[in-house]
Amino acid sequence: MTMTLSLAPAPSAGVPTRRLIIDGKSVDALSGRTFETRNPATGELLASVAEGGAADVDLAVAAARRAFEGPWSRFTPFQRQEILLKFADLVEANFEELTMTDVLDMGAPITFARARKTRALGLIRFYAGMCTTIHGETLPNSFPGEVFTYTLKEPVGVVGAITPWNAPLTSTIWKLGPVLATGCTMVLKPAEDAPLTALRLGELLLEAGLPEGVVNVVPGFGHDAGAALAAHMGVDKVAFTGSDVTGRKIIEASKGNIKRVTLELGGKSPDVIFADCDMELAVPGAGMGVFANTGQICCAGTRLLIERPIYEEFVERVSAYARSLKVGAGIDPATQIGPVVNATQLERVAGYIDVGLGEGAVATAGGKRLTEGALKHGYFIEPTVLSGVNNDMRVAQEEIFGPVAAAIPFDTLEEAAAISNATPFGLGGGVWTQNVATAHRMAKAIRSGTVWVNTYGGLDPAVPFGGYKASGYGRESGLHHVDAYLETKAVVMKL
């Protein structure tokens, strides 16, 4: 395996230091402060990372503004496309290293992380294709006189991008793609729990020929660098992915200069299993719909709504499936469930299981932390199925963001639809049935940004993704994602 970032050095080599990327240069934080990032499977120290704060955000925003007004503004769509395509090639060439960085930094199972290759590369090449599709319109004139009216699509300006830790590679690409396709510039604040992949992507962008200052990467903490970026008067738009709690703070912080804001937030997605489903598909499909990436996926199908005639059987089978999953360090290709990202998250997930049991649910699989043998230094918890849940319980209403499924019975399609929609969220949803009418009816009834039928979680780059209700607003991927990074100017000309 080639590893240029050498995140796991020999003890004598010391711990790698990672610095901010501002104006094309690798720099220390002005405060001189650093923070540690560790492997959640082992507690091993991976790197000491420069801790960006408000002053560093100021420098990065100024660099992004200069780049926006400088040579980058004269790059043609073809030239931007060329950079994105070179970047895609570099990501492809360095994919194993980037995957390993995600695995070590946030604990992703390597088999799961490797399987994202097509998607990650597909996304960059998709946005490369978008560069040459952005254009305005000519418009008819209904008033007296000769008037020629057309619209121009112009980049919104400096984008502040703030990302979570659960999928560092793809969530960073989701921000970079539309920024570069439209000619915006960016200051990226990756999550403090997993900043290394974003820093490496920042280096690869420079290697691909991106001018200095177009993409700046400022790791740091949410309450400091994140809050400064969200409120910064020099930032024109904030593109945020994270929890609904932080999303509300972003809206508040954006008021100063009326920033454009897009929010990709959390979920509590229903996965509806009808009695006529193909159980051989539905058990592992719905199982991985919630347990993939150790349950740390925003659109995870965490509420298993099961039609009553098969409730007991399905709960038993999905529980057996959960018990069969191999838990371990992400670096082991056999691992299906890795650690959760940190001690706080472990406490939170374990706390929710206790809350569910206290509310009357029963753990038919899992429910316990794993602390023996090789797992003793990491943040491991068993994949858990809670049965006997009703939709009013906290474990059915609040996002846990860990490997915990809540099994809820239902009797009719109408009841399944009502339960599906009875949370504040609306991000994902699933339907398992062999009846095409049931599939269409449920897909229409679920108020969420994506509904999967007889599958769960896969998305082509051309498919829009985002939330209804408290899951946010705006869409990533898809033909219209770039619109959120553009302004429309009407030019009205008397001839």
List interacting residues with ligand NAD (CB under 6 A): 162-166, 171, 189, 191-192, 221-223, 226-227, 230, 241-243, 246, 249-250, 264-267, 298, 399, 401, 427, 467, 472
Whether 51 is a known active-site residue: answer no
CA distance 273 to 10: 50
CB of 465 to ligand NAD, least distance (A): 7
Task: Output 298 or 406, the one with its CB closest to ligand NAD.
Answer: 298
Distance of alpha carbon 428 from alpha carbon 268, whole angstroms: 8
Alpha-carbon separation of residue 346 from 332, 342, 422 (angstroms) = 21, 6, 27
Is the alpha carbon torsion for 215, 34, 166, 467 positive or negative?
negative
Please identify, using beta-carbon distances, which residue of 244 and 307 lies nearer to ligand NAD: 244
Q: How far is the CB of 225 from ligand NAD (least distance, A)?
A: 8
Considering the complex, state which of residue 54 and residue 121 has its C-beta at the smaller distance from ligand NAD: 54
Residue nearest to ligand NAD (CB): 222
Cα separation, 430 vs 450, in Å, equals 8
**Shortest approach of ligand NAD to residue 191 CB, angstroms?**
4
| Helix (H), strand (E) at residue 410 | strand 404-410
CB of 193 to ligand NAD, least distance (A): 7
**Beta carbon of residue 189, minimum distance to ligand NAD (angstroms, whole number):** 6
Least distance CB 462 / ligand NAD (angstroms) = 17
Provide the residue type at 257 as one letter. Answer: N
| CA 53 – CA 77 distance, rounded (Å) | 34
Choose between 183 and 222: whose C-beta lies nearer to ligand NAD.
222
Strands (E) across 85-184 are located at 138-139, 147-155, 158-162
How many Å apart are CA 37 and CA 107, to the nearest integer? Answer: 12
Residue with tokens 């006189």: 145
For residue 401, which amino acid is it? F
Q: Which is nearer to ligand NAD, 183 or 474 (CB)?
A: 474
Closest CA to 217 of 275, 178, 159, 283: 159
Helix, strand or coil, per DSSP, at residue 231:
helix
Report, in Å, the least distance between residue 391 CB and ligand NAD.
19
Nearer to ligand NAD, 441 or 447 (CB): 447
CB-CB contact of 86 with 208 (8 Å):
yes
Write the DSSP string, 455-477.
S-S---TTS-B--EETTEES-BS
Closest CB 427 distance from ligand NAD, rounded Å: 6
The token pair that represents 134 in the structure block? 């952005």
Nearer to ligand NAD, 131 or 297 (CB): 297
- Residues contacting 436, CB < 8 A, separation 6+: none
Residues 380, 367: Cα–Cα separation, whole Å: 11
Catalytic residue, chosen from 51, 192, 264, 476, is 264
- Lookup: tokens for 187: 């200051």
Cβ 289 vs Cβ 431: under 8 Å: no
Q: Quick one: which of 219, 217, 221 has its CA closest to 201? A: 217
Tally of residues, the chain: 495
Catalytic machinery residues:
264
